[in-house]
Chain A
Amino acid sequence: MIDTLIDVTLLAFLAITAIAIIKMRNLFVVIMLFGIFSLHSAGLFVVMDAADVAFTEAAVGAGISTVLMLATLALTKNHKEKIPTHHARIPLLVVLITGAALVYGTYDIPDFGDPHSPAQQHVKPRYIERSVEETGTPNIVTAVLASYRGYDTLGELTVIFTAGIGVLLLIGGRIADRPLPTFRPNFSSKLRPILKDKFRHKFRTKLRRKDKE
């Protein structure tokens, strides 16, 4: 009874937050609502006894992604979303049909926690029965992630590593700290200092202007 009540409340909050995200035009508010949405999802995962997933959702979804999005928003000048000028009728139709198909598809999904569903019968019984004696780790999730599925976790870590390298390559290294490229015309030694200063000055202002844009 109380579980159902919590489920309904959390799902209702999720729906309300989602509608508010669609309706809001102020991007700052939208980002905060995204964080709230993630927190409600984390609550739902706790209700489903998936503590590890809830933990990740709370830390990543509600925590760090909100901060990163706020940092991105701080880079942009305009904090308001543009009001659309036309009604998107065809996309709405497509979304409604897809949504209806997905809802229809849920009727074939086994019940939550059904012991006869395919997902529960493949390798799961073995993990539950043997993981403690094989890995000595009481938390089965950690045993699966770190030991049985060690390759996958290495792949995930590489994805995060690649993301870090990608960000570094694209926008890493602060512009202000980077030494400006020096201009070296091949003139005689007497002319060179004068020209160099002139050109460098021009070059710098050009660069600055580019940065401001």
Chain B
Amino acid sequence: MKHNLILRFIVKYLFPVIALFALYVQFHGDYGPGGGFQAGIILSVAFIFYSLVFGLKTTEQVLPPGVLRIVMCTGVLIYAGTGVTTMLMGGNFLDYNLLSQNPIEGQHLGILMIELGVGITVSSVMLIIFFAFAGRGRPEEADHD
């Protein structure tokens, strides 16, 4: 599908829009519908969309599988790390009130951190699953470009 001009054009111009929308959903989850989970899915969809048209090999140059695996673990660590931080500060696990002087600010910060962790892990897991499935069927084809 590499030579399909219309598809390539659309993907090129839609990719930043989808990625931006994912970021909006991620950081606007406190105020509107959405959050880390949906944002992660949308971001991974942007990359899947890209790899459907430009090929797996091209996408893997941007997102090497090894890096994706590390990123996948980072998200869970950010989430659990927020909880451990509040424990080290003398509170309960995931007690965001302690993260700042003002409890409300602490809650904001805590929710932001854990939503970030959720988004990172969800998007990388979805990409890993997609790459695992899509990369398995045609090992020869991937070497062409």
Contacts and interface: CB of A to CB of B under 8 A. Distances in A.
Interface of A: 51-52, 54-56, 59-60, 63-64, 67-68, 71-72, 74-75, 134-139, 141-143, 145-147, 150-151, 153-154, 156-158, 160-161, 163-164, 167-168, 171-177, 211
13 contacts: A55-B34, A59-B42, A67-B130, A150-B94, A151-B94, A154-B79, A164-B124, A167-B133, A172-B128, A174-B139, A175-B139, A176-B139, A176-B143
Most buried by B among A52, A135, A143: A135
Given A142-B29, A164-B72, A172 B132 contact: yes
B90 interface: no
A176 B111 CA distance: 42
B98 interface: no
B126 A75 contact: no
Interface of B: 25, 29-35, 37-38, 41-42, 44-45, 48, 65, 69, 72-73, 75-76, 79-80, 83, 93-94, 96, 104-105, 107-108, 110-111, 114-115, 117-118, 121-122, 124-126, 128-130, 132-137, 139-140, 142-143
Contacts of B110: 146-147
Contact of A138 (B30, B34, B73): B30
A75 B83 CA distance: 41
Contacts of A60: 41
Contacts of B121: 157, 160-161, 164
- Those 7 A-B pairs whose CB atoms lie nearest each other, nearest first: A176-B139, A164-B125, A51-B33, A136-B104, A71-B133, A150-B94, A59-B41
B54 to A, nearest CB: 15
A168 B132 contact: yes
Nearest to A143: B111
A193 B17 CA distance: 57
Contact of B129 (A68, A142, A157): A68
Contacts of B33: 51-52, 54-55, 139, 141
B74 to A, nearest CB: 11
A135 B80 contact: no
A161 B44 contact: no
